[in-house]
Structure 1
Amino acid sequence: MKVYDDKHIKNIVLVGAHNSGKTTLAETMLFEAGLLNRRGTVEGKNTVSDYHDIEHERGASVFATPLHTEWRNYKINIIDTPGLDDFIGEILASIRVADTIVTVINGRHGVEIGTEIIWSYIDNYNKPTVFVVNQIDHPNANFEDSFRDIKGLVGNNAVKIQYPIRVDGAQCIIDVLKMKCYKFSPEGGKPEKMPIPENQKEVADQLHNELVEKAAENDEELMELFFEKGTLSEDEMRQGIKAGMLNHELFPVFCVSALNDMGSGRLMGFIDNVAPAAADLKPEQSVEGKTIARTTEAPTILFVFKTVHLPNLGQISFFKVKSGVVKANDKLVNSRTGETEILHQLYIMDGKKREPVSRLVVGDIGATLKLKYTETNDTLQAEGHQVTIRPIAYPEPRTKKAVFAVNQNEDEKLSDALKKIHSQDPTVVVSFSNELKQQILGCQGELHLATVAWALENNYGVKAEFKQPRIAYRETIKRSSTANYRHKKQSGGAGQFAQVHMKIEPWYDGMAEPEGFNIRGKEEVELPWGGKLVFYNCIVGGVIDLRYLPSIKKGILEVMESGPLTGSYIRDVRVMVYDGKMHSVDSNDIAFKIAGAHAFKAAFMNAKPKLLEPIRELTVKVPEEMVGSVMTDLQARRSIILGIDSSDHYQILKCATPESELYGYSTNLRSLTQGKATFKSAFSSFEPVPENIQQRLVNA
């Protein structure tokens, strides 16, 4: 195929809420460009982008799928993405490598919560964005309401390029950039170009003038021209629109019917002529602070933004060429691992179809097979150049489950499968908790979890079971206590003897040193699970040799790894070892470790032990009209409301919620708010468990 330079490569990503029509629009764009003879449908399970079995089964996109088309001497790389935020990892990776975002709005529903969630990420990346109102020919579509929603989302910088009307029963689109009316037959396709109807001229002129002013605002030379002439030419308007898009201060709005192929050709023409290319974007800075040169002469740098594992092919790595030119059989170094990879083959991917190419230039998107040491977010570069592309920042899991193989003999097979799933989707987080003795799987929601379960069974042949994870409680004490323990064991020959006296107290940062003891030494142990053990040597008169104190401390630490209440870690205790006895022959390290452990355990049980539970700082964004039911639910979950902020038509609730009460919260919140609320949480602190709950947990 023809090799395009970076000025003639446009990388777009189609984003939007579930059922907005992204996959249908992608299919129509390929059809318009002549790459398809016949358009597939989501219902027919034969679209280019939705080719995975699970997508056919669910009738919706689950994965982001790179495609490409060629249109009027430009190459347009298209990435079709899922619409549900359970698959936000797929969406984020696509936004990261796109030059222009095409946000598709369902004309029947306007801006939905899924679009708002995605917009927050687009806005964070400052990417040029086009809005496309789809399904304009549907009887229930309302373009003006959708446009009003878009302005509510991005402000007054949303500007109409087109708006739909009907003329004599036929669907038409008026384009106020070209000042033409496009009339479509019921079958869609190439429209008939007509003058703007008389009854629309005043509206079209007004919108055209608004567009001229918006275009002029983004360029000083254009502003001078505008003041001089009172208007701008079409080419000058294009220049101003592109400048506004690059500044993230102008958001063109188009209208289409993707299903009936109305307006998609004009949209593609705008992407060709106006939408920014990779060469137009601001220079990118590497992790090391270097400016990445977007030229073909610069050293080759690739950014791997997506990984797919297919049964018949193995690992496919999708990348964007950030600098230079990559050729088949090039050797590139992974900046993370330092390993050299050979790119034996290069491909342009259209769904599952592979088209081999010999080279790809800066700004282009391609794929290669069977890299050994490379994962999503990795940088591959020419040897001798240390550059790391800034990685994609993925959100933390919102749902966690303990995962087991139904057949225990398949535990290793399960772990290998989960590693591959994480490689393909970094928002699937897998870890083994030594504390909980469980393998924990983190996902973005119940639907996300269901796709993982499906993949395990259908792609990897492992049937998995998912359960509520145990909670990582902590144990500590509320008051001081003393105890002593004598360990004596005689079994012929040298025996074991040790006696230890100690006092324990709750520890907190900044507390005064203990009184009434002759302190000979102090050691603060930062515990791996959080908190401290503060260990004092208060021995006088040499009743215990100094060499046995580390063994006493070791015995205490072993008890702290499995507390006597629930087997949870103990934290925030200080211990004063102040007396004891030893034997010149029978005392040894093991004896003092045993005596120290038993004395500590006895003192702990007399010091009013208490359980601490992990508290999450929960932030919930909820529509104003639904705040009451969400707050009622939060209070039932023992939440403490810390504050309420407002943002547009939303209330943002900040609260402290016990982790044990958040199991299933993602599903419950979605049910309470019809999917219109979102939340995120982060670990805050450990706080005491209420007495009635502590007793229940201890009994269990």
Structure 2
Amino acid sequence: MKVYQTNEIKNIALLGNDGSGKTTLTESLLYEAGIIQRRGRITAKNTVSDYFPVEQEYGYSVFSTVYHVEWNNKKLNIIDCPGSDDFVGAAMTALNVTDTAVLLLNGQYGPEVGTQNHFRYTEKLKKPVIFLVNQLDSDKCDYHNVLERLTEIYGPKVVPVQYPLNEGPGFNALIDVLLMKKYSWGPDGGAPTIEDIPAEEMDRAMEMHKALVEAAAENDETLMEKFFEEEKLTEDEMREGIRKGLVTRSIFPVFCVCAGKDMGVRRLMEFLGNVVPFVDEMPKVHNTRGEEITVTADGPTSLYFFKTGVEPHIGEVCYFKVMSGSVKTGDELTNSDRGSKERLGQIYVCAGANRQPVERLNAGDIGCAVKLKDVKTGNTLNGKDCENRFDFIKYPNSKFSRAIKAVNEADTEKMMAALIKMRQEDPTWVVEQSKELRQIIIHGQGEFHLRTLKWRMENNEKIQVKFEEPKIPYRETLTKSARADYRHKKQSGGAGQFGEVHLIVEPYAEGMPDPTVFKFGGQEYRMNIKGKEEIDLEWGGKLVFINSVVGGAIDARFMPAILKGVMERMERGPLTGSYARDVRVIVYDGKMHPVDSNELSFMLAARNAFSAAFKEAGPKILEPIYDLEVYVPADFMGDVMSDLQGRRALIMGMDSEAGYQKLQAKIPLKELSNYSIALSSITGGRASFTTKFASYELVPNDIQQQLIKEHEADGEED
């Protein structure tokens, strides 16, 4: 294979909603480029994409597929991404290591929730976008309506380059208003017949051609001047104008294909090869030190590993992008994240599961390597005198969580090893071994996301697992001050145990003044502060511990033990066993014995005194509250709001964004447990949402009583 230079390489992410036809388009692209000799079919389970068993089982893409095509002395690296938002990690990764997004639309449905989500990601990353309308041969295809909706959502930047002549089962021709030609195909697609535009289509074609010329001219002053003078541009000038407009996101061209019949695919590749920006025309990436990295083969070698796949009989396949310099077979590089040396025995270019060995890859190119000893997703390998590290991919927060258990407890260690391996393939998995909840929690992007994990665990790893509802990390706190004392006394021959602690607890808020006097039962207690510790609790909030003991009632050497006893009870709150927070504890009196007092005695006395005082101090349970944003079509807004109100959500605001309604709310974590399933059911899968932790708030009193009863019942069972 030819070694391509940086200015001959283009990197493209292929995105689209489930059912838009990305896998079928991939087959046609590879077939047209001569990479494969016959097009596979999803139903036959022989496609280049979707070659993993779990994908063939469910009929959905689960992993992204990296492949390349060579066209007109250009190399197009394409990453075909899963359509489901449950596998958004693959789309986010692809967009970060490519330069242009092709957003595929099903001609029957036009822009869908997946389109909206993917477009938002391109917006955030400032990536060029090309819209591609597929399935023009379907009964319900309505190109005019699709174009209308795209313009309605994304504005006048949406500019058609092609339009079909006859949508529906008889589709076989389109008009290209960039080249001003008619393209038509026989029943088997492939190479088109190119003719002049029929007279009856000329007015419509000329109108769209002028709109395209004007949109192209807007991106270059010289072209704009020529356009004003002559009202036309050459084909090359239009390409240049469109390329510049793509880079600045001031134009979103619209193309047409019928991927299933291989119609329009060859023309699409021509456009990608001729017009899409090269890697060195895009904004530069920065390393972790904030330095710009120039994409040039003359620079120091730096590879960023963006994806790991685990394949049967091969093991880990590590995919990388050459960020600068060049890499060749046999190079020895340094892993800047792990400090280890790595020799690249062989490097490959990819076409799904097929790999072709190459001698060299230059800056901007994408390849893979196998059998590396110490490389993980997100690592950077550098050549001599280079210390780059990259951390530019930011993944969305999790939306769906479940506790996972091995059916056979003896398999727990194997299960954890498998989960860590799966996270290498999909960084949107978050595996949490919660000491607080005493559960292993899997955080993912949705119910289908977790279902595929379970399938793989049971079918690939042969480990039977079960999911459970994750416990909620409640917190306990106080609403008023209270006093208690406790004497720990134990005598069993020899030295005994004795410690007595008198303390006061009260709610703590940042910046509140030190205590001076308390009144309980008509008695006044004056504080004389000898020492104070402010402890930032690892689970959030604070514990302020004050020593106000006078007259040597308790020796200062026992204070750390008293604090330890209080902390132990803070870790298992008296109401539900949840962590306690935002508490001030004042130890003001006590007693000790010259022989029998020791650290253990005062720790136990403090623990019991704190527990007794806590229960008298108006204890309240706090629950985690999350900020929720729901993107929903307007016609489902009422149902979605009604459902949220039934989940104790507080609606904070509504807005319109890119043709969808954006609803903002605050919602308790407990009510989010099955929200992704419910929202999909209500909207037919046409809505999406994001969540972010906001704060801890008091639970309603009826729920608090229920939680306490459940905790007491669990205690009795234990």
**What TM-score range do you get, normalising by the shorter chain?**
over 0.9
State the match for 1:182 in structure 2: 183
Q: Secondary structure at the match of 2:403?
A: strand
Partners of 1:573 and 1:139 in 2: how far apart? 66
**Correspondence list, 1:254-265, <5 A:** 254-265=255-266
- Residues 170, 184 of structure 1: 8 Å contact kept: no
The aligned amino acid for 2:28 is T
2:218 is aligned with 1:208: no
1:648 Cα deviation after fit = 4.3
- Residues 622, 696 of structure 2: 8 Å contact kept: yes
Partners of 2:137 and 2:482 in 1: how far apart? 78
Name stretches of at least 5 consecutive residues in structure 2 with no aligned partner.
Answer: 518-525, 711-718
1:265 Cα deviation after fit = 0.6
What root-mean-square deviation, in Å, do the aligned CA atoms of Structure 1 and Structure 2 show? 1.6
1:182 Cα deviation after fit = 1.1
Q: Of 631, 645, 648, which aligns to 1:621?
A: 631
2:64 is aligned with 1:64: yes
- Residues 306, 376 of structure 1: 8 Å contact kept: yes
2:218 is aligned with 1:217: yes
Partners of 2:17 and 2:545 in 1: how far apart? 57
Instruction: Please give the per-residue CA displacement for 1:299-343, whole angstroms capped at 9, x wherever unaligned.
Output: 111111111011311111101111111011212222222222221
Q: Of 688, 705, 713, which aligns to 1:695?
A: 705
**Structure 1 residues 687 and 81: CA distance shift in structure 2, 3 A:** same
1:510 Cα deviation after fit = 2.6
Partners of 1:313 and 1:500 in 2: how far apart? 64
State the match for 1:323 in structure 2: 324
State the match for 2:133 in structure 1: 133
- Residues 99, 282 of structure 2: 8 Å contact kept: yes
Partners of 1:388 and 1:152 in 2: how far apart? 41
**Structure 1 residues 352 and 27: CA distance shift in structure 2, 3 A:** same
Partners of 1:207 and 1:649 in 2: how far apart? 24
2:461 is aligned with 1:451: no
State the match for 1:473 in structure 2: 474
**Correspondence list, 1:246-325, <5 A:** 246-325=247-326
Q: Of 572, 577, 586, which aligns to 1:567?
A: 577
Partners of 2:507 and 2:557 in 1: how far apart? 26
1:235 Cα deviation after fit = 0.8
Partners of 1:319 and 1:527 in 2: how far apart? 40
Partners of 2:166 and 2:16 in 1: how far apart? 26
Q: Of 552, 560, 572, which aligns to 1:550?
A: 560
State the match for 2:11 in structure 1: 11
Instruction: Please give the per-residue CA displacement for 1:586-625, whole angstroms capped at 9, x wherever unaligned.
Output: 2122211121112111111222322111111222222222
**Correspondence list, 1:570-589, <5 A:** 570-589=580-599
- Residues 335, 379 of structure 1: 8 Å contact kept: yes
1:169 Cα deviation after fit = 6.5
**Correspondence list, 1:589-608, <5 A:** 589-608=599-618
State the match for 1:644 in structure 2: 654
Structure 1's consecutive aligned runs of 4 or more residues displaced over 3 angstroms after TM superposition are: 166-170
1:170 Cα deviation after fit = 6.5
Partners of 1:271 and 1:98 in 2: how far apart? 13
1:667 Cα deviation after fit = 0.5
650-659 or 395-404, which deviates more: 650-659
- Residues 302, 321 of structure 1: 8 Å contact kept: yes
Instruction: Please give the per-residue CA displacement for 1:248-297, whole angstroms capped at 9, x wherever unaligned.
Output: 11111111111111111111111111111112212222221212121111
Matched positions, count? 700
Instruction: Please give the per-residue CA displacement for 1:504-554, whole angstroms capped at 9, x wherever unaligned.
Output: 112222323222212222221211111111111111111111111121111
Q: Secondary structure at the match of 1:155?
A: helix
Partners of 1:394 and 1:304 in 2: how far apart? 16
2:685 is aligned with 1:680: no
Partners of 1:650 and 1:177 in 2: how far apart? 31
Q: Secondary structure at the match of 1:259?
A: helix
Partners of 1:316 and 1:292 in 2: how far apart? 26
Partners of 2:406 and 2:626 in 1: how far apart? 29
336-345 or 103-112, which deviates more: 336-345
TM-score for both structures, normalised by structure 1 = 0.97
**Structure 1 residues 487 and 297: CA distance shift in structure 2, 3 A:** same
**Correspondence list, 1:305-384, <5 A:** 305-384=306-385
State the match for 2:230 in structure 1: 229
- Residues 170, 186 of structure 1: 8 Å contact kept: no
The aligned amino acid for 1:601 is S
Q: Secondary structure at the match of 2:240?
A: helix
- Residues 42, 60 of structure 1: 8 Å contact kept: no
Q: Secondary structure at the match of 1:288?
A: coil
Q: Of 659, 663, 678, which aligns to 1:668?
A: 678
Q: Of 654, 664, 685, which aligns to 1:654?
A: 664
State the match for 1:464 in structure 2: 465
Partners of 2:302 and 2:139 in 1: how far apart? 49
State the match for 2:644 in structure 1: 634
The aligned amino acid for 1:4 is Y
TM-score for both structures, normalised by structure 2 = 0.95
- Residues 300, 385 of structure 2: 8 Å contact kept: no
2:109 is aligned with 1:109: yes
Q: Secondary structure at the match of 2:261?
A: coil
371-380 or 293-302, which deviates more: 371-380
Partners of 1:169 and 1:66 in 2: how far apart? 33
State the match for 1:20 in structure 2: 20
